[in-house]
Structures are given as structure tokens and as C-alpha cells.
């Protein structure tokens, strides 16, 4: 059962869906009669950080933004030792779509979320469009490497894996996190208010203080879980696929990916002046892309 949790603030409402091993949570922008949009976030983040972008879209879609397993307010099993691919995330998305039993979905996602919605769309007949913002478009050889017994030792050396593993997870108060993060260069290009939106569900109350809702060990495991058939999913997509790529060195849509997308007929929009975190920096531009403008 999907349960809406009405808040006193205007705008979106929280929702929960009961699953076999817990609860899938997220945000919903009700809009009766509008086509449905499902949005999935990047590794380590949560649905709340995308509120500004999704608010721009709320007049044309009924929107569901999920907190993925191990993130935000979702409470599903998240064992880092058992994570080898993002299939578990895609399975959660598929379960949600099956539960909603709607048609004409636009599936959209950022970074890891883009890969996940592409994988979840495979074989479905209820998807009308797929919009991927900075998907993690790894070369196919990465998947082969991820299947070898040497992969765990190789992946631990990745910068994102090392940074996530060492990330501080507990703080005395939300204000302390906001102050510390606000001084970090990565957050200084974010649109006003987006950091606060992230911390809303990116932090969880914990024994008189707060902790990161996405445990560093789970975040690191997700960063190194690359046994994903992304390119197979894109080729088999049941609806047109569009990609938004950042014109910055932080982009995860590398040159090889541009060529591969072109060969399989996927439209790629290259946006200058933004990084991999385009959705946080320019929510308006990201919304225009999802809307097909």
C-alpha cells in the first residue's frame, strides 16, 4: 500500500510503500490526470535534494521521487558486503512501478539514478520516455572487470570509493553539518536552498545528534558496484532515451559514451558551464531537459 503523509507545508507530500523487507519512501507532487514521472537520485543523495528541479515540473507531471535503498527515509535492507551491482535498486523501482500500475511513465534519473531507471525500464510496456541526467556511462569493459575476483581490490582504490569510506557520518546537530558543508567548494555552486533540501532527508536523527542517512559503507559499496548492463538496457529501452551531459571534467558521460550513444540513436544534450551536479547547480535547466524543452 502506498501511504501519503500530508505535511503542513505547501508543495509535495511524503509517501511510503510497504515492501517485503521494509519501507520505500519518497516525495510525491500530486497532479490528478497528469502523466506520471518517476525520478531517482544519485549515489549518496536522496529525493529531497531535487525538490527545486521537480517543483519546476509539478504543473505538467504527477511526480514520484524515490529515496533509493540505503538512502534518505527508505528503510530497506542495505548490506554493503552483498552489493555487486545496481540491480537491487532497479528491482525496487520496478516493484514501485508495478504497484502503481499506471501507463505513460517518464522515467528520469541523475547519475546512478539514471542507470537505475534505464535498467528498470527494460521489458516494460508502461514507459513513454526516459530522461537520463549525467548517467554513469561506464565502458562495457568495466562490467567485465567488476565480475573478476580482483575487482574488490581494484575498486577500493577509486577516488569516490575512498572518499565515501572516510566520510564523517555523525554530527552533534544539523546546523553543524550545514555550516561545514557550506564551506566545501562542491556545495558552493549549488543553487540557494538546495543544500538545505538535501540535509532535510540526507540526515537522520541519531541519539541526540544526527548521522548521514546513507551510511558511508553503503555509499562506498554503491560506487564500486559496477556489474551493470547499462548499455544493454539503453539499447533495449522500450521508449525514446535522451541524455543530458555536463561540459565539465567531472562529467560521467565521457567521450566514448557520446560516440556510443550516437551509434545507438540516443540524443545527447551537452550543457556548458555546469558540472556532474547540474541538477543541484541549475535546477531550472535540468527541469527543462526532463520536460523535453
Confidence class of residue 121 from pLDDT cuts 50, 70 and 90?
very high
Q: How many CB atoms lie within 10 A of CB 158?
A: 14
39, with CB counted inside 10 A (0-12, 13-18, 19+), is buried
DSSP alpha helix (H) spans, 124-229? 140-146, 151-155, 159-165, 174-182, 185-188, 194-202, 216-223
CA gap 60, 195 in Å, rounded: 25
Model pTM? Answer: 0.94
Confidence class of residue 154 from pLDDT cuts 50, 70 and 90?
confident
| CB 68 within 8 Å of CB 100 | no
Pick the CATH number of 2-291 from 3.20.20.150, 3.40.50.720, 3.40.50.1820, 3.40.50.880: 3.40.50.1820
Sign of the Cα torsion 245, 250, 252, 256 reads: positive
The reported pLDDT for the residue numbered 281 is 98
* Percent of residues, the chain, with pLDDT higher than 70: 97
Length of the chain: 293
| CB 90 within 8 Å of CB 120 | yes
Looking up cell 531535487, which residue turns up? 50
Confidence class of residue 6 from pLDDT cuts 50, 70 and 90?
very low
- In SS3 terms, 23-61 reads as EEEEEEECCCCCCEEEEECCCCCCHHHHHHHHHHHCCCC
The closest alpha carbon to 54, from 148, 125, 133, 116, belongs to 133
Q: Give the mean model confidence (pLDDT) for residues 219-233.
A: 97
Q: Which is more confidently placed, 131 or 11?
A: 131
Amino acid at each position: 500500500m502506498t501511504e501519503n503523509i500530508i505535511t503542513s507545508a505547501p508543495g509535495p507530500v511524503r509517501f511510503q510503500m510497504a515492501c517485503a523487507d521494509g519501507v520505500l519512501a519518497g516525495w510525491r507532487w500530486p497532479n490528478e490526470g497528469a502523466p506520471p514521472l518517476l525520478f531517482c537520485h544519485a549515489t549518496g543523495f536522496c529525493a529531497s535534494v531535487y525538490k527545486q528541479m521537480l517543483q519546476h515540473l509539478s504543473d505538467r507531471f504527477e511526480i514520484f521521487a524515490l529515496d533509493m535503498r540505503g538512502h534518505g527515509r527508505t528503510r530497506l535492507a542495505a548490506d554493503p558486503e552483498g552489493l555487486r551491482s545496481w540491480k537491487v535498486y532497479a528491482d525496487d523501482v520496478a516493484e514501485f512501478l508495478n504497484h502503481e500500475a499506471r501507463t505513460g511513465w517518464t522515467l528520469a534519473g541523475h547519475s546512478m539514478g539514471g542507470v537505475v531507471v534505464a535498467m528498470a525500464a527494460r521489458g516494460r510496456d508502461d514507459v513513454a520516455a526516459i530522461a537520463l541526467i549525467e548517467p554513469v556511462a561506464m565502458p562495457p569493459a568495466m562490467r567485465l572487470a567488476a565480475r573478476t575476483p580482483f575487482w574488490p581490490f581494484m575498486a577500493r582504490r577509486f577516488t569516490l570509493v575512498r572518499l565515501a569510506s572516510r566520510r564523517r557520518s555523525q554530527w552533534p546537530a544539523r546546523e553543524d553539518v550545514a555550516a561545514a558543508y557550506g564551506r566545501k567548494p562542491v556545495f558552493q555552486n549549488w543553487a540557494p536552498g538546495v543544500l538545505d533540501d538535501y540535509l532535510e532527508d540526507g540526515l537522520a536523527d541519531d541519539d541526540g545528534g544526527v548521522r548521514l542517512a546513507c551510511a558511508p559503507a553503503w555509499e562506498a559499496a554503491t560506487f564500486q558496484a559496477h556489474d551493470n548492463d547499462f548499455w544493454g538496457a539503453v539499447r533495449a529501452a522500450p521508449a525514446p532515451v535522451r541524455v543530458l551531459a555536463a561540459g565539465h571534467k567531472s562529467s560521467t558521460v565521457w567521450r566514448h559514451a557520446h560516440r556510443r550513444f550516437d551509434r545507438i540513436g540516443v540524443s545527447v544534450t551537452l550543457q556548458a558551464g555546469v558540472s556532474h551536479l547540474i541538477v543541484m547547480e541549475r535546477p531550472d535547466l535540468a527541469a527543462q531537459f526532463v520536460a523535453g524543452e
